[in-house]
Every structure is written in C-alpha cells, then in structure tokens.
C-alpha cells in the first residue's frame, strides 16, 4: 500500500481528485488484509467510518471543509471513544464502551478526521514493546519478528505500514517517540498540558501527554492545531493560546543553537545508531545552526526516578478498577475485599501488577520519604539540568533509542532491561518538555530516530527543526517492504 | 534491597491484588530487581532541593461551586456488571 501524508491527502480532498470514502475504504481494506499480520488494531469501526466519510465528502463538496476534513485516522486504544470499545490493551476493560469522548477525540472529530479504528498498545501504556497487551503483541512492519516499540506500538506500526496516514499516541516515558523511531516514522510529544488528558485513561498523571504518530513533522503540526488547547475538564490543561504551528515550519535555522548532550552518547548507544544521529545533526548544522556540546549530568538518574514516580501515580490511578462500576468483575466473590482482589488478579497482566505493587511499596508507610519524596527531588535536579541547557541553546538533539528494534520476546522476562532501554526519552517526560523523533537512517536495515527536544512551550521550534530536517532528507519517505505471508497472521494475534 | 515473600504478600494486600503461592517467587525476584534499580537514588545528595510535584509552575485551578454536569446515572451504569434499582451491587458488607 502506498503511503501518503495528511498534507498530500488534504490537497487531493480539497481539489476533489479523491473522496474521503475512497480513502477510508482503502484503509479498511489494508487493515483487514495485509495489515492483519501486524495485529496493530484492537478494533475497527468500518460502518461508522464510512458514514463519517460520506458526511466529510458533503462538507468538501459544499466548500465548508477544513484541512483535516475526511482524513482517515486511528486512535490509540487509551482514548475514550463513544462509537467503539476502549480497552487500553487490558482484559480489565475488554468490551468497555465509554459514555463520553476524550477531548482529543472530540476535537479531531470536529475538525473532520474520520476514525477507522483503535490501535493496540502495552496494557495501560505500561511497556516499551506492545508485548504486554492482553490482545497479543504487535509486529514491526520492518521485521515481523521484532517489536514496533511501545507503548503506542499499534499506532506506530499502522502508520509505518500505511494502514492509516496518521494516528494518536500517548507518551509517559517515551511511548510516542520510541515506537516512532523503531518503525521509521515521526512521533511528536507536545509540552506537558498542551493536549487535554480528559478521557485519556490515566497511567501517571504528572507525566502523561497525548501526541501524534505521522509520516512528517508537517502532519504533526496540522493535527496539533486541532488537538491542542485549554480544556476546563483537565485540571492540568494549560490555558495559553495555541500557536499556528504550520506557519513556523519553514523558519530558517540560521543562527539557531543546537545543544548535543554528551550523556546521550555514553556507553550503551549502538555505534551505527550514533553515526546516523551525528549525520543528522550535521544536516542541521548545514542549515546554518550552530552545534554546541552541553551536559545533562543527572540524565542517568532519570530511569530510577521514573520507576518511582510513574508506579506511584499508577498505583493510585488504577485503584479505580474495583469490579464495581465498570470493567472486569470476578464472579462469585464471598466478600467485598475478595471481589477487589480477585477482580484485579484476573483483570490485570503481569507488568501492570508489578508496577502497581512497586507503587504501593514506595508510597507505603515508612518508605514515602526514602522513595517518593527523594524521586521528586531528583526530578527537580533533572528538570534544572534541562533548564540550564535551554538558557544556552534553542533545541537539544540526540538519539531516541540506544539500538534499532529488538526482537519480540527478547526482553519480556527482564523488566529492568526493558526499562533501561528508555534512557533517552524518560527525562523529557520528567521535565514536561516537548520532543519529537524523526527517522534519520537505517542500522542493519532497521530504522532509527533523531530526537529533538525543546524548552517548555517550544513545540513550535521542535516542529520547525524537524520539518527543516525532513526538507533536506528522505529518511521519512522510506517504507518497509510488504512483509510476511498471509499465514504469518496466525502467529501475530491471540490473547496472551 | 531484597524483598521477602512476606513483603510481597503485604504489598499485594495494600494494592488489593490476589497473589497465589506459586506467583510469589517471581514477584520476589522481579520486584527486588526494580527496587535495586530505584535504590540508586539513595546515593544522590538532595539536601535543600525542593521536591517537584508537577512539570510546570502552575497552581490548581478552582471554579465556582455550581452544578455543571447533569445526572447521567443510567448511561454510566451501563458499564457496571451488577446494578439493581440504579444502585451498584456488591457482596454483603455489613451483617
């Protein structure tokens, strides 16, 4: 299947050379056909999508369409949608149909985007490989035996394989940027608070941020103009005007300063991956940007800090799953406490249970100061490191991941090994900064990403740098060869 | 720091998770590894550092205490597995 950007499709929809119905039908055919072996989708809403596409075509015909009208789209299955189930990759929410829409979903629908389905993800977004999903792992379109990364792995695989032009994701510790890097697409995580968290199933509330998985930075900018903005229903939503991101995409990089944190190139980074990232930084330099070395001395502490803060917040957020009001319920419990305990035993998978228990432990009586308070202090130190850098530079550049995509099953039995893989992305969440991963080449035939990080509300600059880079390079146009054979589908699916 | 089976049982109770006997060893092993990872922070000097609760310098927004949502009990209870007369059903709590 041919991949096309939102920008290209939007032009074709506006000039009448293509209909939204055609685009949606093409997506549905791809999802149900060659896409099946990826297990990228948890649900598909074909009938509703065709109705929405016809409505979009009416608006286009009447000349009342916006730039996103009629564009097929997929939401990560963490966003509540009224038209189709929201499972969050968990048995706990199997079959759950939300009575309300997430704000991001409502805003994109209002902008005319057509929802075709919901994508697979690590259970409750806890994972970096999409292997913790109750609905089975997602395959990487570049190599079906490899992980597409996670937790937004279904969205990343779907966009990389051309099943949909774009999809939403959420990023708590790298869950948009890492899968984007490992599947060769563009993953944008805005500044914390930019996109409403309302209706986005909560994992770690002080870290969670919604964003986009697209082919280009330009497409991310187009989506952000619809998704971003103040929402009174999210107490941490930021009340600041939303910039016109697409206006600033072509701003010259001449005289801008790019900081390269030396800790991003320490031991652990694959030498070929490093080479690709250094070449990408040279492209920015070629556009007139000045490259300087900077330091994030506490970066190495970001993984342990995250694995206190995130589990603590998750143990609190996931206490709502009690078997009473919604979600899975154990049948036949003798008393209320057993109802809670057995419901949660059956409803949650192994990684989610580990994180809930880690959180319960670090918050328990006598340990709070030693763990949670300490982690909040180190979080401050990490955040100050970034602030010091941004006093000197406009943007930070480095790798998104230490290596290209790993094999499915390679790290599933060693949670700490899996956690350490997120070393370059987690600090950005702790500090609440905007970040993007853009494809910057191949390592052993697999894509790797350049990560660009901006200061708070530097989303425009991040998208500008990424767009200018993509105007100079073709890595974002590389797509995986059609993979596998039809019978490979049997291996990809199945509930774990 | 290594956890013991008794610790795991206590944490599981706090988290309201049923853990069967044959799962305990795996939890002891993996949770101990995670605690070892996060214990690195104990070496950091954080004297005088203000704890960071939130990534942006913002305060909690307040609003007037007025009804802003209508009652949608039936809609919300559609997702509950046991409801009688508009009430959620749970096992008997009081004798």
* CB-nearest partner of A96 from B51, B79, B91: B79
User: By the CB < 8 Å criterion, does B80 face chain A?
Assistant: yes
Q: Tell me: the pLDDT tens digits for B2-28? A: 899 999 999 999 999 999 999 999 999
Residues 6+ apart with CB under 8 A from A348: A90, A91, A92, A123, A318, A321, A356, B17
Task: Measure B64 CA to nearest chain A CA, in Å.
Answer: 12
Q: Is A151 noted as a catalytic residue in this protein?
A: yes
* CB-nearest partner of A305 from B15, B41, B55: B41
Contact criterion met (CB < 8 Å) for B55 and A339: no
Q: Is A155 noted as a catalytic residue in this protein?
A: no
Cβ(A72)–Cβ(A214) under 8 Å?
A: no
Q: Give phi and psi for B32, each to the nearest 5.
A: -65, -40
The domain made up of A6-259+392-483 is a member of CATH 3.90.1300.10: yes
Q: What is the pLDDT along chain A (496 residues), one digit of tens a residue?
A: 579 999 999 999 999 999 999 999 999 999 999 999 999 999 999 999 999 999 999 999 999 999 999 999 999 999 999 999 999 999 999 999 999 999 999 999 999 999 999 999 999 999 999 999 999 999 999 999 999 999 999 999 999 999 999 999 999 999 999 999 999 999 999 999 999 999 999 999 999 999 999 999 999 999 999 999 999 999 999 999 999 999 999 999 999 999 999 999 998 999 999 999 999 999 999 999 999 999 999 999 999 999 999 999 999 999 999 999 999 999 999 999 999 999 999 999 999 999 999 999 999 989 999 999 999 999 999 999 999 999 999 999 999 999 999 999 999 889 998 999 999 999 999 999 999 999 999 999 999 999 999 999 999 999 999 999 999 999 999 999 875 433 333 333 333 3
With tokens 């006598």, the residue in question is A366
Report chain B's terminal Cα–Cα distance, integer Å. Answer: 43
User: By the CB < 8 Å criterion, does A320 face chain B?
Assistant: no
Name which of A405, A381, A478 is nearest A439 in CA terms. A478
Name chain A contacts of B37, Cβ cutoff 8 Å.
303-304, 307, 416, 419
Catalytic residue selected from A90, A175, A196, A237? A175
Determine the pLDDT at residue A79.
Answer: 98
User: By the CB < 8 Å criterion, does B82 face chain A?
Assistant: yes
User: By the CB < 8 Å criterion, does B16 face chain A?
Assistant: yes
Determine the pLDDT at residue A492.
Answer: 36
- DSSP letter, residue B26: H
* CB-nearest partner of B80 from A325, A375, A415: A325
- With CA atoms as reference, the chain B residue closest to A311 would be B34
Give contacts of A 109-168 with B, CB under 8 A. none
User: By the CB < 8 Å criterion, does A472 face chain B?
Assistant: no
CA angle A409, A209, A427 (to 5 degrees): 70
Name chain A contacts of B15, Cβ cutoff 8 Å.
315, 344, 353, 356-357, 359-360
Contact criterion met (CB < 8 Å) for A325 and B55: no
- With CA atoms as reference, the chain B residue closest to A332 would be B91
CA distance linking residue A12 with residue B30, whole number of Å: 53
Name which of A227, A205, A188 is nearest A104 in CA terms. A227
CA distance linking residue A88 with residue A234, whole number of Å: 19
ipTM: 0.96
Determine the pLDDT at residue B2.
Answer: 84
- With CA atoms as reference, the chain A residue closest to B24 would be A354
- Three-class SS string for chain A? CCCCCHHHHHHHHHCCCCCHHHHHHHHHHHHHCHHHHHCCEEEECHHHHHHHHHHHHHHHHCCCCCCCCCCEEEEECCECCCCCCCCCCCHHHCCCCCCCCCHHHHHHHHCCCEEEEEECCCHHHCCCCCCCCCCCCCCECCECCECCCCCCHHHHHHHHCCCCCCEEEECCCCCCHHHHHHHCCEEEECCCCCECCCCECCCCCCCCCEEEEECCHHHHHHHHHHHECCCCCCCCCCCCCCCCHHHHCCCCCCCCEEEEEHHHHCCCCCHHHHHHHHHHHHHHHHCCCEEEEECCCCHHHHHHHHHHHHHHHHHHHHHHCCCCCCCCCCCCCCCHHHHHHHHHHHHCCHHHHHHHHHHHHHCCCCCCHHHHHHHHHHHHHHHHHHHHHHCCCCEEEEECCCCCCCECCCCCCCHHHHHHCCCCCHHHHHHCCCEEEEEEEEECCEEEEEEEECCCCCHHHHHHHHHHHHHHCCHHHCCCCCCCCHHHHHHHCCCC
Determine the pLDDT at residue B95.
Answer: 75
What is the DSSP pairing of strand A210-214 with strand A167-170? antiparallel
Give contacts of A 161-180 with B, CB under 8 A. none
**Sequence ranges of the domains in chain A:** 6-259+392-483, 300-376
Name which of A191, A147, A188, A151 is nearest A166 in CA terms. A188
Catalytic residue selected from A76, A118, A189, A256? A76
Determine the pLDDT at residue A74.
Answer: 98
Q: Is A76 noted as a catalytic residue in this protein?
A: yes
Catalytic residue selected from A133, A151, A152, A315? A151
List the structure tokens of A94.
């199997």
Contact criterion met (CB < 8 Å) for B18 and A345: yes
């Amino acid at each position: 299947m041919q991949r096309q950007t939102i920008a290209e499709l939007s032009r074709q929809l506006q000039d009448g050379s293509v209909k939204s119905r055609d685009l949606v039908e093409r997506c549905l055919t791809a999802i149900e056909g060659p896409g099946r072996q990826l297990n990228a989708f948890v649900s598909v809403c074909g009938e509703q999508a065709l109705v929405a596409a016809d409505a979009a075509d009416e608006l286009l015909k009447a000349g009342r369409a916006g730039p996103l009208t009629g564009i097929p789209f997929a939401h990560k299955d963490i966003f509540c949608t009224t038209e189709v189930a929201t499972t969050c990759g968990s048995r706990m929410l199997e079959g759950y149909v939300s009575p309300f829409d997430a704000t991001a979903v409502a805003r994109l629908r209002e902008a005319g985007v057509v929802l075709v389905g919901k994508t697979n993800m690590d259970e409750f977004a806890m994972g970096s490989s999409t292997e913790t999903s109750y609905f089975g792992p997602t395959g990487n379109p570049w190599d079906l035996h490899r992980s597409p990364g996670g937790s937004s792995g279904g969205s990343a695989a779907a966009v990389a394989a051309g099943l949909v032009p774009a999809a939403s994701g959420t990023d708590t510790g790298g869950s948009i940027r890492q899968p984007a890097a490992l599947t060769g697409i563009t993953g944008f995580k805005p500044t914390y608070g930019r996109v409403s968290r309302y209706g986005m199933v909560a994992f770690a509330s002080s870290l969670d941020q919604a964003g986009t998985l697209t082919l280009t930075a330009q497409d991310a900018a187009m989506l952000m103009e619809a998704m971003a903005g103040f929402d009174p229903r999210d107490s941490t939503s930021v009340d600041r005007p939303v910039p016109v991101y697409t206006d600033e995409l072509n701003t010259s990089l001449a005289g801008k300063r790019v900081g390269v944190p030396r800790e991003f190139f320490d031991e652990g980074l694959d030498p070929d991956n490093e080479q690709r990232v250094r070449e990408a930084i040279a492209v920015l330099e070629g556009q007139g940007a000045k490259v300087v070395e900077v330091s994030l001395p506490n970066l190495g502490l970001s993984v342990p800090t995250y694995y206190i803060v995130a589990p603590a917040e998750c143990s609190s957020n996931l206490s709502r799953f009690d078997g009473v009001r919604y979600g899975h319920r154990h049948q036949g419990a003798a008393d209320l406490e057993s109802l809670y305990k057995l419901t949660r035993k059956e409803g949650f998978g192994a990684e989610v249970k580990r994180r809930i228990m880690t959180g319960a432990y670090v918050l328990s009586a006598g340990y709070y100061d030693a763990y949670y308070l300490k982690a909040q202090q180190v979080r401050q130190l990490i955040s100050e490191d970034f602030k010091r850098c941004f006093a000197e530079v406009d943007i930070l550049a480095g790798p998104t991941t230490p290596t290209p995509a790993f094999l499915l099953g390679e790290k599933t039995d060693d949670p700490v090994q899996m956690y350490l893989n997120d070393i370059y992305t987690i600090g950005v969440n702790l500090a609440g900064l905007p970040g993007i991963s853009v494809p910057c080449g191949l390592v052993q035939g697999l894509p790797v990403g350049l990560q660009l990080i901006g200061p708070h509300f530097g989303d425009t600059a991040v998208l500008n740098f990424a767009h200018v880079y993509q105007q100079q390079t073709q890595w974002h146009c590389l797509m995986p060869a059609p993979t596998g054979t039809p019978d490979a589908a049997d291996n990809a699916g199945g509930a774990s | 720091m290594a956890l013991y089976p008794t610790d795991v049982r206590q944490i599981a109770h706090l988290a309201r998770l049923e853990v069967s006997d044959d799962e305990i060893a795996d939890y002891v092993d993996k949770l101990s590894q995670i605690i070892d990872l996060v214990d690195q922070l104990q070496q950091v000097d954080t004297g005088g550092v203000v704890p960071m609760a939130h990534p942006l310098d913002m305060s909690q927004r307040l609003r007037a205490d007025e009804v802003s949502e209508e009652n949608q009990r039936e809609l919300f209870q559609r997702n509950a597995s046991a409801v009688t007369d508009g009430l959620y059903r749970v096992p008997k709590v009081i004798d």
